[in-house]
Amino acid sequence: VFVIKKNNIKINNNFLGPSFFKEGFIFFRLITNKEIFGLGEPNPYSGSIKEIKLILLQHILPLIKYKKIKFINLEKISLLIKKKIKNTPCLYSCFAAISNAIYDIKAKKNNSSVTNLLQKNNFKKKAIDAYASGGMILENQSYEILIDEALKYKEKQFVGWKFRPKLPLNFLSHEMR
């Protein structure tokens, strides 16, 4: 488990960053005995870095450490952990990070991409359409400043662009929004 802090991230000062920028990003790295590693990222909105690290390191990692990936059953692990700790969005986000890391390892092992791996699992679509997310401004800013951002993502051929209504200056918590 490792954290990338805000001071390593370049932020455009014209716009707000996500609320988790203050704390940083957290990633989970799962390494096989053949030195293949997979990365997963818990949803940073699901809890604090401290809470996410606690769940990953104290509750999930002991149940998957030294296990063969094909025998890691996240549903069974979930049931075991739910007996010990409260069922929270953070817990499910940690399971998603583990699942992402496992898919990453399987794709690397097959010298492929996660997209190709998912396609082999009966997903019909050949590409996954993605939208860009941004457009966070405060109530004292003009929507006009978002035009350049939207055009930049259109030029990069995203299928859409998500922006938010103006945020009140005193209402910055993602959870409160």
pLDDT digit string, tens, across residues 80-131 = 787 777 778 888 888 889 889 988 998 998 898 888 887 766 556 566 678 8
Task: Give which of 17, 23, 7, 10 is closest to 137, Cα–Cα.
Answer: 17
Would you give the distance in Å from CA 154 to the centre of its chain?
Answer: 23
Task: Give which of 67, 50, 57, 145 is closest to 105, Cα–Cα.
Answer: 67
Would you give the distance in Å from CA 170 to the centre of its chain?
Answer: 26
pLDDT at 132 over 70: yes
Would you give the distance in Å from CA 130 to the centre of its chain?
Answer: 15
pTM over 0.85: no
Mean of pLDDT values over 137-153 = 89
